[in-house]
Amino acid sequence: MNQGKLDIVTRELDRLGVHLCGISEMRWTGKGHFTTLTNHVVYFSGKDNKRESGVAFVVNPDVAGCVLGYNPVNDRIITIRIQGTPMNVTFIQTYAPTSASSDEEINTFYNQLQQAINSVSKRDIMVITGDFNAKVGNQSTNQCVMGNCGLGDQNERGETLIDFCQENNLAILNTLFKQHPRRLYTWISPNHRYRNQIDYILVNKRWRSSFEAAKTYPGADCDSDHQLLVATMKMRLRKIKRQKKPVRYDISKISDNYRVKVKNQFQCLLEHDHQETNGKI
C-alpha cells in the first residue's frame, strides 16, 4: 500500500459512502496514525523492520471526530473504538496466517485475537473484520454462527473459524444475506480462474439485527486481488467533546510602562506587610 494506492482507496471509499475501512496485508512498518490530505485518518500496525503482513483502518473525516482511541496490537491485529449511540463500537481488523502456515502459527493468531476480544468492554458492540484465509462454505454446519449464503466448500481453516465464533458468541455476517455469487467472493486468483470467500465480518449475535446488508463491490477500484467487502450498520455517532486548552497570553507584548507600574504596586504591598510584621514582633 503506497501513497498512490492509498489515494485511490480513499477516493473509492468516498464514492461508495464507506465511513470506516479495515485493510489487511498493509505491508507498512511501525505503528501509528496520520491524517491524509483529504482529512481521512489512517491508523496502522505493522512489523518493526519488515514489510510484510500489517493491518490498518482508514477513517473518513466524519467518523474521525468520534474515535475514542486505538490499539495497534501487532502486525496482524489492530483495534479502534468509536463513540456512538446507543453503544460505543469496537472494531478489530485482522489478517490471519495463510493456509500454508503451520498449526502453531494459526493457534498463536487465534490466541492473540482472543486476548484482543477479552479486552473489549462488555458494553460495546464488537465487530471483527479481515482476511481470515479460511473458507466456511455455503452449507451451514452451525446455524447459530452462520447462514446458508456463503460461497464454496468449507475447509479445515473454516472449521477453526466457526469453532472460534461459537466460543465467542459471534455470527459470520456475510453468510447471512442472500446475494448474487459475484457479491459473495472476496478474493480472485492472479489468473482469474478461482474465486473464494476468505474475508469475513464477524459481529456479536446480539447486535446482528443492527446490520442491513453485507456484500462485496467487485467494481470498486482498489487495485487488489481482494474485493471490497462492505456492511451497512444502523447507528448514530457522537462527536467527542474536546477540552479547550487554556489561553496563554504573550506577556512580552505588554507595554513596559504598565509592567513597571504593576511591579511598583506589588513592591509597596510587600514593604507594608514587612512593616506590620516587624511591629507585631
> What does the pLDDT read at residue 192?
83
Same domain assignment for residues 274 and 231: no
Q: pLDDT by residue (tens digit) across 30-63?
A: 999 999 999 999 999 999 999 989 999 999 999 9
**Three-class SS of residue 227?**
coil
Question: pTM here?
Answer: 0.82
* Cα separation, 150 vs 147, whole angstroms: 7
Q: Are residues 82 and 209 in the same domain?
A: yes
Nearest to 199 by CA among 239, 221, 228, 222: 228
Number of C-beta neighbours around residue 204 at 10 A: 17
**Residue 89 belongs to a domain:** yes
Q: How far is CA 100 from the centre of its chain?
A: 27
Closest alpha carbon to 229 in 151, 138, 123? 151
Residue 218 falls within a domain, yes or no? yes
Look at residue 49 and tell me if it is in a domain. Answer: yes
For residue 20, pLDDT over 50 is answered with yes
The stretches of the chain forming alpha helices (DSSP H) are 3-16, 61-64, 103-118, 156-167, 256-280
Closest among 29, 62, 27 to 235, alpha carbons compared: 62
pLDDT at residue 278 greater than cutoff 70: no
53 in a domain, yes or no? yes
Same domain as 261, residue 231: no
CATH number at residue 48: 3.60.10.10
pLDDT tens-digit profile of 129-156?
999 999 999 877 778 899 888 998 999 9
Query: Quick check: is 50 in a domain?
Result: yes
Top-confidence residue, 56 or 274: 56
Claim to verify: residue 21 and residue 137 sit in the same structural domain: yes
Query: Is residue 12 pLDDT above 60, yes or no?
Result: yes
Show the domain range for 94: 3-237
Q: Do 266 and 143 have their domain in common?
A: no
Which pLDDT belongs to residue 121?
94
> Are 96 and 223 in a shared domain?
yes
Residues 263 and 196 in one domain: no
Q: Is the pLDDT of residue 279 over 90?
A: no
- Do strands 125-131 and 89-95 pair parallel, antiparallel, or not at all (unpaired)? parallel
Phi, psi of 183 (to 5 degrees): -95, 5
Name the pLDDT band for 271 (thresholds 50, 70, 90).
low
Report yes or no: 57 and 45 within 8 Å, Cβ to Cβ.
Answer: no
C-alpha cell at 277: 510584621
Number of domains forming the structure of the chain: 2
- Does a structural domain hold residue 247? no
Residue 281 has pLDDT above 50, yes or no: no
The answer to whether residues 264 and 223 belong to one domain is: no
Residues 57 and 147 in one domain: yes
Is the residue at 248 inside a domain? no
| Contact (Cβ atoms closer than 8 angstroms) between residue 243 and residue 39 | no
Residues 275 and 192 in one domain: no
Which pLDDT tens digit goes with each residue over 204-259?
998 888 898 999 998 887 778 899 999 998 866 666 655 656 656 565 665 655 55
Measured at the CA of 232, the angle between CA 230 and CA 235, to 5 degrees, comes to: 140
Asked if residue 245 is part of any domain, the answer here is no
Examine the domain organization and report whether 230 and 262 are in the same domain. Answer: no
At 273, the pLDDT band (50, 70, 90 cuts) reads: low
**CA 96, CA 161: separation in Å to the nearest integer?**
10
Report pLDDT digits (tens) over 63-116. Answer: 999 999 999 999 999 999 999 888 899 999 999 999 889 999 999 999 999 999
Can you give the length of the chain in residues? Answer: 281
Q: H or E segment at 45?
A: strand 41-45
Is 54 within 8 Å of 46 (Cβ atoms)? yes
Q: Which of 231, 196, 202, 235 is nearest to 217 (CA)?
A: 231
Quick one: 184 and 218 in the same domain? yes
Provide the CA 19 distance to its chain's centre, in angstroms: 11
